[in-house]
């Protein structure tokens, strides 16, 4: 709810609130009878409202293929199945995603649930759409057993390393499933909601797409805590005192900004249901409570944010310990803003957020802002260029540094053979609690309670393996000491000739380190150095070996993921048969197990397969159809 500095407050706000609520109902309404004959019309209109050059023809073609392939299929609710991919595409259109992403959304279930093949999709719509669809296509339980769900997540992470839009399509897919979850059984609702809460909401937070994250959290709350959700909905609908107080403070803050000659608009930023629940019911309180909250969005540069902060603090008394500067130290999900809490009129506390227009866009849309507000210039329309270095208009450029966490996930998933261990590590890495620490002038973002050993392995595997001591803020600290936000860490390593540390113990990691390190990267490096099994702290003599069929699947998946990363694909086993014979393996399964056991790397196998095709050898001629050129 915005307040225009030049309008009469109560009337303008009431009218604007009505218009916004009406617009939201129109955006989220089911397509009415007037457009049932053309179900894609609303999707095309929404897309072109944001991207004037959006290709409506390819959207219609994508819908026609999806509708034909899903014809006769229904959802749990009894609706025609095509209603789901159409709704997912609509969510992405409202988010502001590009045409390619919308086409992938329309087709995202065709390969998984119909006779439509990935080769057909690639021929009909191109390699870029195929990468997105393949990234969200689930593994079948009939082949992968209980590991299917975890391996699907692993596959999605790897595909997102090639194109981050894979994750955005998956989030929109889950959002619509959560919107329609009432058609499911109680047990199914709980299972889907918990999976959403454990993995997809943290991923959504990492991407910074708060507009989707808020609704996902509220949907999960409705599924897992239905009574609390009902109470909160009723409470939020009847909080006139809170709204009146916020409106009055917005008037005063707008006046103060105008008097200080700071161009700004002041908006209300109420908390969503899950946030209120988390601050009240989850902590044992009997009644909901919410601090009033506003945002001051300045029209100038980020320096104006600090000027606005000074004006706010000079006008109202700040609450000690409630100031946070996410502009100087941004979160790893692109979020930048100043946070403070002041004592407003009637001695009531009120939260104040201060940010620029660009920061506001990134706070709402996160990584999707790069597609909703694309920069214009040479190569601006190149989708491949966007996927390799995503940009957003304004004073924030979204590049590889903002997706460093995704690169780390892609790297360490290859070493995590055990799918259960992989999921545990993923949940740890995506945990909400995080700390910023500094080492050698570089800022690192690590999970809460990380230790100097985590820092050492974040710097490099060799640094971690030869770490013998650490100082934190200039003081010698235990290697197991949990780090706090803002700590300055210095890692001390042994020299190349040293074999024992200051305590007389051999140089290198010990089993004890596995009991306190927090990052998956550190855990995997320590296990690899110690030669342990797949599970943390496992005894190599007692740990059960990974079954042979599972190792075959893991090896095949690793090669497929590496080929996909290089924008190639494997359509049959013929190239693998040829390569296995060349490398001296009796059969393909033996080669795949060697990959799973890290005897030979997936990168090497993928490189040899591609080299066969590109060299034009006799064996490559047979394999040419299996490895199409990009």
CATH of the domain at 360: 3.30.460.10
Same domain, 153 and 214: yes
Active site includes 112? Answer: yes
Each residue's pLDDT tens digit, 232-289: 999 988 876 778 899 999 999 999 999 999 999 999 999 999 999 999 999 888 889 8
pLDDT band at 23, cuts 50/70/90? very low
Same domain, 168 and 48: yes
Each residue's pLDDT tens digit, 238-251: 876 778 899 999 99
Same domain, 362 and 428: no
Which of these ranges, 90-94, 185-189, 429-433, 589-593, has the smallest mean pLDDT? 429-433
Cross-strand pairs, 338: 325, 354
**Token pair belonging to 573:** 């086993």
**Which one is predicted more confidently, 35 or 225?**
225
- Alpha-carbon gap, residue 486 to 328, rounded angstroms: 12
The answer, yes or no, to whether residue 74 has pLDDT greater than 70, is yes
Which of these ranges, 169-183, 306-320, 375-389, has the smallest mean pLDDT? 375-389
The answer, yes or no, to whether residue 620 has pLDDT greater than 60, is no
Same domain, 557 and 499: no
The answer, yes or no, to whether residue 594 has pLDDT greater than 50, is yes
- Alpha-carbon gap, residue 101 to 579, rounded angstroms: 36
**How far is CA 439 from its chain centroid?**
26
- Alpha-carbon gap, residue 422 to 158, rounded angstroms: 13
Angle at 546 between CA 545 and CA 549, to 5 degrees: 135
Mean pLDDT of 411-431: 66
Catalytic residue among 113, 279, 325, 424: 113
Mean pLDDT of 37-48: 92
Each residue's pLDDT tens digit, 197-232: 988 998 898 888 999 999 999 999 999 999 999 999
CB atoms within 10 A of CB 465: 18
Q: Which domain holds residue 600?
A: 548-623
In a domain? residue 380: no
Domains held by the chain: number: 4
Pair 93, 28: CB distance under 8 Å:
no
CATH of the domain at 515: 3.10.20.30
Angle at 301 between CA 442 and CA 259, to 5 degrees: 135
**DSSP string of 206-220?**
HHT-HHHHHHHHHHH
**DSSP string of 357-399?**
HHHHHHHHHGGGHHHHSPPPSTTTT-HHHHHHS---SSS----
Q: 483: Cβ–Cβ under 8 A, 6 or more apart, which residues? A: 435, 437, 446, 449, 450, 451, 452, 454, 455, 472, 489
Query: Percent of the chain having pLDDT more than 70?
Result: 77
Each residue's pLDDT tens digit, 345-381: 989 999 999 999 999 998 999 889 889 988 654 444 3
Pair 534, 543: CB distance under 8 Å:
yes
Rounded to the nearest integer, the mean pLDDT of the chain is 80
pLDDT of residue 398: 46
In a domain? residue 160: yes
Active site includes 304? Answer: no
CB atoms within 10 A of CB 72: 8
The answer, yes or no, to whether residue 628 has pLDDT greater than 60, is no
Q: Which of 367, 382, 409 is the last residue of a domain?
A: 367
582 phi and psi, to 5 degrees? Answer: -65, -35
Catalytic residue among 2, 112, 248, 325: 112
CB atoms within 10 A of CB 551: 19
Same domain, 38 and 135: yes
């Amino acid at each position: 709810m915005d307040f225009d500095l030049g309008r009469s407050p109560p009337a303008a706000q009431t009218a604007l609130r009505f218009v916004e609520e009406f617009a939201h109902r129109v955006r989220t309404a089911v397509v009415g009878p007037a457009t049932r004959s053309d179900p894609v019309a609303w999707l095309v209109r929404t897309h072109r409202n944001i991207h004037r050059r959006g290709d409506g023809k390819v959207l219609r073609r994508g819908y026609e293929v999806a509708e034909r392939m899903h014809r006769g299929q229904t959802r749990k609710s009894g609706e025609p199945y095509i209603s789901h991919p159409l709704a997912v595409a609509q969510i992405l259109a409202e988010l502001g995603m590009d045409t390619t992403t919308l086409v992938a959304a329309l087709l995202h279930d065709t390969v998984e649930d119909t006779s439509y093949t990935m080769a057909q999709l690639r021929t009909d719509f191109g390699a870029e759409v195929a990468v997105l669809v393949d990234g969200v296509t689930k593994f079948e339980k009939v082949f992968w057993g209980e590991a299917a769900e975890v391996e699907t997540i692993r596959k999605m992470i790897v595909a997102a390393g090639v194109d981050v839009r894979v994750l955005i399509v998956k989030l929109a897919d889950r959002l619509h499933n959560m919107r329609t979850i009432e058609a499911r059984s109680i047990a199914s609702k709980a299972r889907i909601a918990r999976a959403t809460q454990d993995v997809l909401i943290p991923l959504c937070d990492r991407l910074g797409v708060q507009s989707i994250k808020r609704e996902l959290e509220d949907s999960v709350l409705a599924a897992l805590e239905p009574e609390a959700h009902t109470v909160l909905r009723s409470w939020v609908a009847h909080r006139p005192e809170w709204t009146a107080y916020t409106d009055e403070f917005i008037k005063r803050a707008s006046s103060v900004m105008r008097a200080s000659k700071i161009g700004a608009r002041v908006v209300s930023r109420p908390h969503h249901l899950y946030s209120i629940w988390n601050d009240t019911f989850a902590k044992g309180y009997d009644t909901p409570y919410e601090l009033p909250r506003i945002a001051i969005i300045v029209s100038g540069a980020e320096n104006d944010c600090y000027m606005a902060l000074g004006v706010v603090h000079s006008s109202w008394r700040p609450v000690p310990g409630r100031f946070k500067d996410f502009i100087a130290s941004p979160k790893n999900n692109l979020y930048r803003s100043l946070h403070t809490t002041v004592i407003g009129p009637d001695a009531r506390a009120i939260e104040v957020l201060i940010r620029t227009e660009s920061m506001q866009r990134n706070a709402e849309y996160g990584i999707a802002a790069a597609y909703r507000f694309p920069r214009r210039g040479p190569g601006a329309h190149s989708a491949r260029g966007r996927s390799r270095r995503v940009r957003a208009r304004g004073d924030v450029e979204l590049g590889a540094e903002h997706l460093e966490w995704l690169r780390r996930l892609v790297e360490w998933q290859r070493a995590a053979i055990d799918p259960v261990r992989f999921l545990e590590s993923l949940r740890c890495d995506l945990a909400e609690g995080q700390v910023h620490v500094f080492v050698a002038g570089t800022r690192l973002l690590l999970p809460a309670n990380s230790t100097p050993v985590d820092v050492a392995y974040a710097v490099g595997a060799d640094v971690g393996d030869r770490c013998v001591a650490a100082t934190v803020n200039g003081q010698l600290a235990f290697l197991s000491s949990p780090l706090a936000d803002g700590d300055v860490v210095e890692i001390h390593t042994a020299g190349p000739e040293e074999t024992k540390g200051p305590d007389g113990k051999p140089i290198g990691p010990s089993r004890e380190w596995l009991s306190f390190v927090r990052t998956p990267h550190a855990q995997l490096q320590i296990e690899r150095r110690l030669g342990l099994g797949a599970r943390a702290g496992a005894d190599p003599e007692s740990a059960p070996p990974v079954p042979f069929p599972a190792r075959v699947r893991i090896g095949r998946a690793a090669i497929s993921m590496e080929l996909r990363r290089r924008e190639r694909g494997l359509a049959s086993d013929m190239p693998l048969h040829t390569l296995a014979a060349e490398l001296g393996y009796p059969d393909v399964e033996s080669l795949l197990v060697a990959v799973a056991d890290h005897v030979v790397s997936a990168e090497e196998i993928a490189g040899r397969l591609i080299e066969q095709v590109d060299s034009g050898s006799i064996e490559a001629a047979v394999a040419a159809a299996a490895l199409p050129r990009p």
